Amino acid sequence: MTSSGSVGVVSPQTAHFAEPLTLKSGAVLPAYDLVYETYGTLNAQRDNAVLVCHALSGSHHVAGTYAGKPKSVGWWDNLVGPGKPLDTTKFFVIGVNNLGGCYGSTGPTSINPATGKPWGADFPFVTVEDWVAAQARLADLLGIERFAAVVGGSLGGMQALEWTLAFPDRVRHAAIIAAAPKLSAQNIAFNEVARQAIKSDPQFHGGHYYEHGVVPVNGLKLARMVGHITYLSDDAMGEKFGRKLRHGEHKYHWDVEFEIESYLRYQGDKFAGYFDANTYLLATKALDYFDPAFDYDGDLAAALARAKADFFVASFSTDWRFSPERSRELVFALIQNGLKVSYAELESTAGHDSFLLDDPQYHAVLRAWFDGIGV
Amino acid sequence: MTSSGSVGVVSPQTAHFAEPLTLKSGAVLPAYDLVYETYGTLNAQRDNAVLVCHALSGSHHVAGTYAGKPKSVGWWDNLVGPGKPLDTTKFFVIGVNNLGGCYGSTGPTSINPATGKPWGADFPFVTVEDWVAAQARLADLLGIERFAAVVGGSLGGMQALEWTLAFPDRVRHAAIIAAAPKLSAQNIAFNEVARQAIKSDPQFHGGHYYEHGVVPVNGLKLARMVGHITYLSDDAMGEKFGRKLRHGEHKYHWDVEFEIESYLRYQGDKFAGYFDANTYLLATKALDYFDPAFDYDGDLAAALARAKADFFVASFSTDWRFSPERSRELVFALIQNGLKVSYAELESTAGHDSFLLDDPQYHAVLRAWFDGIGV
């Protein structure tokens, strides 16, 4: 255990899967790689593994840093580490970059064996169900029959939920944080704006921009700007930026007048500099499609009847992307099935992004929940 | 009075103003036209005039239809007409297209006398204050010293408020509906996304697209799509579209899967087909800049001290663009000044757009308020 409670320097690994994967859409992925990281040690009983599922723009790099890159801190480093709520002295924690991703797992930037060129827009649609199926194969490879827990926030929470449905006997506990059992029309609407922004960028070239040596920077920037608005609460934006002026007075120009404009442009530019547009498109579609109640005439309780895990559900008061009401809907359906559910509705000013922050109350309840998991 | 209660066939008029107008930014508009419509008759005392101010994408065409175009119904036709809440048998109602507009008043599509070419992006910034100043000159021209009422929803409501501050003695009553005394950071953020969408469209050509014979269709479409999400409530979208599928099943394609996608694309395309992108940009900036409390260290009550009108303020429960809280802030500041304020916080599922609809309760309170105005 380092003094900082960090898992320290980590490095990703790659697992190759030669067996074809039939996706929910019916398309078949002939072979694929998954990039993953692990923290802690798998115990002799192999019953202390925790899978951390990432959200829209996340990755397998959950905790720690890469050698020589002290700023390359994992996205949930405040949660995962020795002595942290998800304690790596107790648990063997795994982060996986999902299929269709842009951090090393097979995705649109990978070579399509049929053409010898990057998949680009021809990469098949991937769903939450497909991600979970691929993660299960990685679990097989690592010799993990049953996870102590599967954990995720936002789109990651949907994967945790799906694990309890696709593999009820392979998940003892599931934590579903700042998520929803399905997107609302408004959620889909924001995704659609993001997609149209990317697809209408002339540099998108129908999704085959790699071959043109360009990137649909403007579209991806706009998509991220819209996303950011939905990640932050109105309150948080008000507190952080309000109507703060860049120059202390109205300049009557098209450059930045208000600091919020500068923040959004910066976030958009930064994101467009490292994230892949096709991956972004695929991830928004995976979000849209997820709806476990779809095959049950919308009856969520019926859809969840096969789950066996013990659940932890958390929501945040100012999250308007996936409001507490959406978590309550999930909790209610789980309870209807006689499942054990701990539900924390947390006060927070930070909106949807709260799930990534180390709010003391939030981390305290998560810590207590992880402490209660026997290994 | 027609049987339908419509003002019937109307036609716009144009007023030319040769006297330069110094704008809030310091820029000077050498001369300009305002296009307007009137309904009803100005009485002998000239005390029954009501000015209706339009919102972001509205126009002077408030009520009635144009000859031979039965579908060209004014945007607030359900409110304005003989026997309607804003009764044209009692009032002389005026609608004006604002400066910078694209419906005939001088704006970016007009010829810049300095260059002989359309103003385009060189059209000066216009503010709510400038619009009101120009409207006052039109009132002078029409021989209206004092309005019985100035009325508006959303950005139009901001103009009604500004009237009571810029010309306290020229407004007896003001109706400020679904508005706010200033934009929040989140409001500005959505405007900024819309602007970046338009400005990053290669067809924008720095705002001089007219000369290139093109229109930044994609950018304007995206701007409108984002706007539409903020005009509708999450509830309204849920009720109207929910997760309704175009094909009854997931097709796993980039075409429309969910009806909400189709609706947004349609609204975006339609808007991009008739609205001017430069006007849209200017209107979002006018929204951003409006803040009567700015010169009063943010003290809204101090800013409103010079108002003398009787006020009607209305908000809608599901309006998350300008929530009831924002109207209450305004009401509170007006009451602090000892002004007469009628405030209606109305139940509605339709979000911000509620102000345009003919909800019976909403129209009943508006009718009662207009009935109480002596002429």
- Tell me: the pLDDT tens digits for A196-246? 999 999 999 999 999 999 999 999 999 999 999 999 999 899 999 999 999
Over the stretch A274-328, which tens digit does the pLDDT of each residue have? 999 999 999 999 999 999 999 999 999 999 999 999 999 999 999 999 999 999 9
ipTM topping 0.90: yes
Contacts of A214-218 with C-beta under 8 Å, sequence gap 24+, read A215/A272, A215/A277, A216/A277, A217/A269, A217/A272, A217/A273, A218/A272, A218/B196, A218/B200
Amino acid A101: pLDDT: 98
pLDDT on residue A100: 98
- B230 → chain A, closest CA residue: A186
Residue range B303-347, pLDDT digits in tens: 999 999 999 999 999 999 999 999 999 999 999 999 999 999 999
Six token digits for residue B140: 């002078």
Partners of B314 in beta bridges? B177, B344
Chain A, window 126-165: residues with a beta carbon less than 8 angstroms from a chain B beta carbon: none
Q: Is the pLDDT of residue B192 over 80?
A: yes
Q: Which residue of A has its CA nearest to B233?
A: A186
pLDDT given at position B289:
98
Pick the catalytic residue from A6, A59, A110, A154. Answer: A154
Q: Say whether B25 and A218 touch across the interface (CB within 8 A).
A: no
For β-strands B49-53 and B173-177, DSSP reports them as: unpaired
DSSP A176: E
> What pLDDT is attached to residue A9?
98
What rounded mean pLDDT belongs to chain A? 97
For the domain bounded by A13-182+290-372, which CATH number is listed? 3.40.50.1820
Distance, CA of A52 to CA of A154 (rounded, Å): 12
Q: Do B243 and A188 touch (CB under 8 A)?
A: yes
pLDDT of residue A102: 97
DSSP state of A296: G
Q: How far apart are CA B197 and CA B367, in angstroms?
A: 40
Question: Which of A122, A233, A250 has the highest number of chain B CBs within 10 A, making it the mutation to test binding with B?
Answer: A250
- Is A3 labeled as catalytic in the residue annotation? no
Q: On the CB side of B137, how many CA atoms lie within 13 Å of its CA? A: 21
What's the pLDDT tens digit per position in B64-95? 999 999 999 999 999 999 999 999 999 999 99
Residues of B in contact with A205 (CB under 8 A): none
Q: What is the pLDDT of residues A5-58, one digit of tens each?
A: 999 999 999 999 999 999 999 999 999 999 999 999 999 999 999 999 999 999
Per-residue pLDDT tens digits for B128-186:
999 999 999 999 999 999 999 999 999 999 999 999 999 999 999 999 999 999 999 99
pLDDT given at position B1 = 37
Query: Which whole number is the average pLDDT over B187-191?
Result: 98
Of A196, A228, A264, the CB nearest to B225: A196
Question: Which sequence spans correspond to the domains of chain A?
Answer: 13-182+290-372, 187-284
Can you give the pLDDT at residue A226?
A: 98
Q: Do B186 and A237 touch (CB under 8 A)?
A: yes
Give the model's pLDDT for residue A4.
54
Output the six-digit token pair for B297: 């260290």
- Assign a CATH topology to domain A187-284: Rna Polymerase Sigma Factor; Chain: A (1.10.1740)
pLDDT at A2 over 70: no
Alpha-carbon span B219 to A316, nearest angstrom:
34
B256 close to A (CB below 8 A): no
Q: What residues of B are in contact with residue A268 (Cβ under 8 Å)?
A: 196
Helix runs in chain B, H state only: 128-141, 155-166, 185-199, 217-231, 234-240, 259-272, 277-289, 300-303, 324-336, 360-371
pLDDT at B2 over 90: no
Q: What is the pLDDT of residue A1?
A: 37
A105 catalytic per annotation = no
Strand partners, B196: none
The predicted model gives A253-259 an average pLDDT of 97
Among A220, A177, A181, smallest CA distance to A57 is for A220
Q: Are the C-beta atoms of residues A41 and A50 closer than 8 Å to each other?
A: no
A96 phi and psi angles, rounded to 5 deg:
-130, 135
Is B224 annotated as belonging to a binding site? yes
Separation of alpha carbons A210 and A119, rounded Å? 9
Contact residues on chain B for A108, CB-CB shorter than 8 A: none
Please give, rounded to a whole number of angstroms, the shortest distance from the CA of B345 to a CA of chain A. 21
Whole-angstrom Cα distance, residue A313 to residue A231? 19
Whether the CB of B202 is below 8 Å from some CB of chain A: the reply is yes
C-alpha to C-alpha distance for B361 and B369, rounded to whole angstroms:
12
Separation in Å, CA A327 to CA A131, A165, A318, A357, B113: 22, 17, 13, 19, 60
Beta bridge mates, A33: A16
CA distance to B119, B127, B206, B275, per residue, from B112 (Å): 5, 19, 16, 20
pLDDT at B176: 98
Query: What's the start-to-end Cα distance of chain A, in Å?
Result: 19
Mean pLDDT of A174-194: 98
Partner-chain contact B238 A185, CB within 8 Å: yes
Nearest to B8 by CA among B76, B75, B81: B81
Catalytic residue among B6, B352, B354, B359: B352
Q: If we measure between CA atoms, which residue out of A288, A289, A359 comes closest to residue A318?
A: A359
Find the CB nearest B188 among A25, A186, A261.
Answer: A261
Is residue B44 scored above 50 in pLDDT? yes
pLDDT of residue A220: 98
pLDDT, tens digit, 9 for 90 and up, residues B258-271: 999 999 999 999 99
| Secondary structure of residue B43 in the 3-state scheme | coil
Tokens representing B109 are 């599509």
In chain A, residues 264-323 whose CB comes closer than 8 Å to chain B: 264-265, 268, 281, 288-289, 291
B319 is catalytic: yes
pLDDT at A3: 40
